[in-house]
């Protein structure tokens, strides 16, 4: 038999990945990435994009899909065979949320995928459930809009309660809904390229010719937003280090530091290296930038990214950020602390975050953050700066941590008046702190605090 006859379709692979996610507990983004080198390697570019859309979308809408399926099916989702549950979820996602996909195609492909491996009554069940969902689609969508926030936006009840308490129900709903809206890819052109107008314009013309559209970022115009980028590694200038993939909020954390060309800079939790690499590009010598992280694998990733961006002179070292190195006390002009956090600000890119959220993990992370901050404080020179940032929107991890830090260490919060950022951003900084929320300004949810060490 020709091997092409046994290749699985994007829909079949999507159901397989959803099943693997459920059984292994692995992140769907990691499973998807691995599949591109295995079972999905033979798919066309278009089908690979469709596969990504299916698995990410189904994961993002999991609570909503299960509620809709339970309203229709004679067997509740949790009681279904795992394989059948995965197939129906992927089919229901296409019917309810992908207008470009014909309902009949979603139903027929789902039924076809289970016909050979299961008894006829099973494929008949799949057919009946998905056809019912297709027939009652409008009624189901109206019904879902009336459910509570957890079902409507497919988020853990804990997170809904936390955000509603801290931000109010209306803003909480807007934040969670923003996590379901696809966003353009944010890239940061290398400052050395941007300084050469002729080279920059040639690169930009090539980029525009290769993708859907390119536009300046509304919040930080030096960054670009790319629609429909396809395979990032194939974009013009990627191999040559013309740009780095970086959200505007992450780049803002570097801008907030106001780095001087002669500064010594440390990033204590640097992987994958976005902020450290940006900071190194602003220095007269990249060896004045030290990037650390916990594992050998993370350090290897920083090194790979630094080399692509032509910044191999950076100092990269494996180091547990909770373990002090006294010989480096008061050595650095700027220390970046972008610490492990709940990640509530990046749920739109990492959908599992919103299902794993709970009070215990949040409290545990706050404790870890404070331990790292206490160690990192000693590395800052008197008069130097510590930039504390997280990709979350929880007050316990952000404003409360800053309050604790200035009460227990010789630091004060500092304005960003000298930072090279638009005035609208500086105007949003309160007591040295900026909280960006998902859906505002086309950025991730992100928190940045600038703190100055008191001079002796």
Separation between Cα atoms, residue 454 and residue 242, nearest integer Å:
38
CATH annotation of 248-453: 3.40.50.150
C-beta separation of 231 from 46 below 8 A: no
Quote the Cα angle for 357-446-444, to 5°.
Answer: 85
Q: Which secondary-structure segment (H or E) carries 412?
A: strand 411-413
Q: Token pair of 204, please?
A: 């930009």
CATH level 2 (architecture), domain 3-147:
Orthogonal Bundle (1.10)
Whole-number pLDDT of residue 417: 87
What is the largest distance, in Å, between two alpha-carbon atoms of the chain? 80
C-beta separation of 91 from 118 below 8 A: no
In DSSP notation, 49-111 reads HHHHHHHHHHHHTHHHHHHHHHHH-SS-GGGS-HHHHHHHHHHHHHHHH-TTS-HHHHHHHHH
C-beta separation of 256 from 450 below 8 A: yes
β-bridge partners, 221:
none
Each residue's pLDDT, cut to its tens digit, for the chain (456 residues) gives 344 446 899 999 999 999 999 999 999 999 999 999 999 999 998 999 999 999 999 999 999 999 999 999 999 999 999 999 999 999 999 999 999 999 999 999 999 999 988 999 999 999 999 999 999 999 999 999 999 999 999 999 999 999 999 999 999 999 999 999 988 999 999 999 999 999 999 999 999 999 979 999 999 999 999 998 888 999 999 999 999 999 999 999 999 999 999 999 999 999 999 999 999 999 999 999 999 999 999 999 999 999 999 999 999 999 999 999 999 999 999 999 999 999 999 998 899 999 999 999 999 999 999 999 999 999 999 999 999 999 999 999 999 999 999 999 999 999 998 888 988 898 899 999 999 999 888 899 999 999 999 997
> Where does CATH 1.10.940.10 sit in the chain?
3-147
Whole-number pLDDT of residue 6: 65
C-beta separation of 329 from 378 below 8 A: yes
- What burial class does residue 125 get, using C-beta atoms within 10 Å of its C-beta: 0-12 exposed, 13-18 middle, 19+ buried? buried
- State yes or no: cis peptide before 272, omega within 30 of 0: yes
Separation between Cα atoms, residue 59 and residue 155, nearest integer Å:
11
Q: How many helices (H) and strands (E) does the chain have?
A: 20, 12
Whole-number pLDDT of residue 117: 86
Name the packing angle between helices 62-72 and 120-135 (round to 10°): 100
Separation between Cα atoms, residue 183 and residue 167, nearest integer Å:
23
Separation between Cα atoms, residue 327 and residue 380, nearest integer Å:
12
Separation between Cα atoms, residue 291 and residue 420, nearest integer Å:
23
* Sequence-ordered strand ranges (E) for 137-194: 185-189
Q: How long a stretch of residues is the chain?
A: 456
- Tell whether pTM > 0.85: yes
Q: Token pair of 436, please?
A: 């960006």
β-bridge partners, 446:
436
Of 144, 126, 2, 176, residue with least CA distance to 65:
144
Of 139, 130, 71, 123, residue with least CA distance to 104:
130
C-beta separation of 87 from 116 below 8 A: no
C-beta separation of 202 from 237 below 8 A: no
> Where does CATH 3.40.50.150 sit in the chain?
248-453
7, HSE (Cβ side, Cα atoms, 13 Å): 14
Helices (H), 227-284: 248-257, 274-282
Whole-number pLDDT of residue 230: 82
C-beta separation of 216 from 225 below 8 A: yes
Three-state secondary-structure class, residue 353: helix
């Amino acid at each position: 038999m020709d091997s092409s006859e046994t290749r699985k379709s994007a829909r079949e692979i999507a159901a397989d990945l959803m099943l693997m996610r459920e059984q292994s507990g692995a992140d769907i983004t990691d499973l998807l990435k691995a599949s591109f080198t295995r079972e999905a390697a033979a798919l066309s570019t278009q089908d690979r994009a469709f596969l990504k859309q299916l698995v990410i979308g189904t994961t993002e809408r999991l609570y909503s899909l299960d509620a809709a399926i339970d309203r229709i099916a004679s067997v509740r989702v949790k009681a279904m065979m795992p394989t059948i549950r995965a197939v129906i979820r992927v089919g229901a996602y296409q019917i309810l949320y992908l207008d470009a996909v014909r309902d009949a195609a979603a139903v027929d492909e789902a039924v076809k995928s289970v016909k050979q491996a299961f008894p006829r009554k099973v494929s008949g069940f799949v057919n009946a459930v998905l056809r019912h969902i297709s027939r009652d689609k409008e009624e189901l969508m109206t019904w879902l809009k009336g459910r509570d926030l957890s079902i409507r936006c497919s988020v853990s009840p804990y997170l809904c309660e936390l955000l509603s308490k801290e931000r109010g129900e209306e803003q909480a709903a807007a934040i969670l809904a923003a996590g379901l809206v696809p966003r353009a890819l944010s890239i940061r052109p290398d400052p050395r390229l941007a300084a050469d107008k002729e080279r920059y314009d040639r690169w930009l013309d090539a980029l525009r010719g290769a993708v859907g559209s390119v536009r300046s970022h509304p919040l930080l115009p030096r960054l670009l937003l790319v629609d429909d980028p396809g395979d990032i590694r194939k974009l013009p200038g990627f191999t040559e280090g013309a740009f780095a993939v970086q959200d505007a909020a992450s780049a803002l954390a570097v801008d907030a530091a106001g780095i001087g060309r002669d500064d010594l800079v440390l990033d204590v939790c640097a992987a994958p290296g976005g902020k450290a690499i940006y900071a190194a590009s602003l220095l007269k010598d990249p060896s004045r930038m030290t990037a650390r992280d916990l594992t050998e694998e993370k350090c290897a990733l920083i090194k790979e990214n630094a080399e692509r961006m032509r910044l191999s002179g950076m100092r990269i070292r494996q180091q547990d950020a909770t373990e002090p190195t006294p010989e480096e006390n008061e050595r650095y002009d700027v220390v970046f602390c972008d610490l492990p956090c709940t990640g509530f600000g990046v749920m739109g890119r990492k959908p599992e975050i919103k299902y794993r959220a709970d009070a215990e993990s949040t409290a545990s992370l706050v404790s870890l953050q404070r331990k790292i901050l206490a160690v990192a404080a000693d590395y800052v020179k008197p008069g130097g700066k510590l930039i504390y940032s997280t990709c979350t929107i929880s007050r316990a991890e952000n404003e409360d941590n800053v309050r604790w830090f200035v009460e227990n260490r010789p630091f004060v919060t500092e304005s960003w008046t000298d930072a090279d950022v638009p005035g609208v951003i500086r105007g949003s900084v309160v007591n040295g702190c900026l909280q960006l929320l998902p859906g505002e300004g086309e950025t991730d949810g992100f928190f940045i605090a600038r703190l100055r060490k008191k001079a002796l």
